[in-house]
Structure 1
């Protein structure tokens, strides 16, 4: 077993930027870059790149997220790293990407995560769109029920995701759906009732979050995002998608609930009703995640018992691309 030895420089970064590693992580077989065979790049962020990799000792395939700490001059970006690791360590659910380990090497932070090898929901939606086919309702409920199950676990831990979108919903080769990318997640302490930071991806942001005035928001903002996801799986585009929208015109579209209703001749009234319940301007009138998950599980059970095997096999994909338009993500803390 290889033993990870941190240099003085790495230790300084580790202690001053991220805080000390748990003692067992320093001899962890997942705790050194040399313990991995990097296979390919899955995606890129402002300061990060995500690889698929294979651990040389266990043979386990993982997602290896490399964060370039030396490029971060903004303390808020570093806070995102701390937050993502801390939140991932608190979660343990089959529908949430599993945290495995993290370590610092040569001024780079590496986060070792469970790999969802079939890519993400954004790529799958694009696949249906390009094939000029609608996603079968059984498939929608299969995926959506798992998304809701993972989010209910997060909310039960008082963790709000804040960036639920197709590109952050990953799919395994077996069709298991997992919520991931918690860089914008927020833990609500017992005395915290609302958040105020304008962060997230505009197409999926609730009206109270994208509003020009600071109204504050809570867990029910995630419910709005769920409504957008459910609609997009059926319509194959975001409910508030529009060509050449800027943030102001998108905000107006959202606050006017300006989206095209789903066709009544293809999808069930229950699906359309749940979307309308989630996409309510007043957050107090939206259902909580327990209620949304109850409906999702019930509907998936109903379609599963119909003996209609129309669930497709996930297609391999990368995180590049998006099915939701080109409005720039917001990260204004």
Structure 2
């Protein structure tokens, strides 16, 4: 789908409100383009889905339009045109966690432990809200944790609805989603939990691995067998991370989902306890070279 063809729509459609720019991401049946709101001059992203029948993954866009939370990448509008559906969503101007932390070598992360705690806290809040609305992520990882320049977390990439857990085909597709190192063991081998209380624990695992990535500043923390290298905890200790932080990550990466924290429990863990429950404005993080 060429970006230039979008601007040809007349009437009261997408092009009347938004100016469309270059292609940001290209998929098999969808494309994400940059855009600008003609009224506010704010930058946005526009996802185009070809045709009027959406795929398993793209169907989540329909629900995301209805959800709104400070720590989700919120959807602003939906346009149904002759050639397909266009979803307008926020633009995260601070990149993603993978880009932020990968720019620095191991042992010298670009944000402090306190700043990592606040990023972790925001991830918890966003996932908790999504779970309360019956939405499961299935692929929590640094690339799906976007950032605003003021330090506000924006989670994207949700993949599964609670109602789909009873459908074997949907669970099979969900089990095929995820990224090695961030994917809970119980979701491998064409399995995905049927009960919501266990399904959301897969997101806890992904959140734990993402927080571990932030604490270490690198992703090389798993053996080929899937277990953590013993040196991981020594690396965290060498950084001066509080023992409560190590306990927090360990409880999220428990192999048995019954032993794993839910995101609701994460919010009240002692490691995050000194953070306020709510803030009027997100706390900016300080980038260090």
Q: TM-score range by the shorter chain?
A: 0.7 to 0.9
Q: In the alignment, is residue 78 of structure 1 matched against residue 55 of structure 2? A: yes
Of residues 274, 281, 304 in structure 1, which corresponds to 2:255?
281
With structure 1 as the length reference, what TM-score do the two structures score?
0.69
Aligned residues: 267
Q: Deviations over 1:80-125 (max 9, x none)?
A: 2222222x13422111111111224463432100111111111111
CA distance in 1, matches of 2:58, 2:122: 26
Note closer, same or farther for the CA distance 1:289–1:133 as it changes in structure 2 (3 Å cut). Answer: closer
Higher relative contact order (CA 8 A, sep 6+): 1
Q: Deviations over 1:153-193 (max 9, x none)?
A: 111112111111111111112211111122x2x22149959
Contact 1:66 1:108 in 2 (8 A): yes
Q: Aligned residue for 1:330?
A: none
Report the 3-state secondary structure (helix = DSSP H, G, I; strand = E; otherwise coil) of the residue aligned with 2:140. Answer: coil
CA distance in 1, matches of 2:165, 2:179: 27
Of residues 155, 158, 166 in structure 1, which corresponds to 2:131?
155
CA distance in 1, matches of 2:205, 2:14: 40
CA offset at residue 34 of structure 1?
Answer: 5.1
Q: In the alignment, is residue 219 of structure 1 matched against residue 200 of structure 2? A: yes
Of residues 64, 69, 76 in structure 2, which corresponds to 1:93?
69
Matches within 5 A, 1:225-236: 225-236=206-217
Unpaired runs of at least 5, structure 1: 8-25, 243-248, 316-333
Report the 3-state secondary structure (helix = DSSP H, G, I; strand = E; otherwise coil) of the residue aligned with 1:174. Answer: coil
CA offset at residue 51 of structure 1?
Answer: 2.8
Note closer, same or farther for the CA distance 1:209–1:93 as it changes in structure 2 (3 Å cut). Answer: same
Q: Aligned residue for 2:4?
A: none
Note closer, same or farther for the CA distance 1:133–1:168 as it changes in structure 2 (3 Å cut). Answer: closer
Report the 3-state secondary structure (helix = DSSP H, G, I; strand = E; otherwise coil) of the residue aligned with 1:101. Answer: strand
Q: Aligned residue for 1:298?
A: 273
Q: Deviations over 1:210-264 (max 9, x none)?
A: 2x3636351101100111011000112236457xxxxxx4xx32xx344622431
CA distance in 2, matches of 1:310, 1:218: 32
Unpaired runs of at least 5, structure 2: 1-6
Note closer, same or farther for the CA distance 1:191–1:202 as it changes in structure 2 (3 Å cut). Answer: closer
Q: In the alignment, is residue 119 of structure 1 matched against residue 101 of structure 2? A: no
Q: Deviations over 1:38-81 (max 9, x none)?
A: 345444444433233211133232111233459xxxx8x62322
Contact 2:107 2:216 in 1 (8 A): no
Report the 3-state secondary structure (helix = DSSP H, G, I; strand = E; otherwise coil) of the residue aligned with 2:181. Answer: helix
Report the 3-state secondary structure (helix = DSSP H, G, I; strand = E; otherwise coil) of the residue aligned with 2:214. Answer: helix
Q: Aligned residue for 2:237?
A: 264
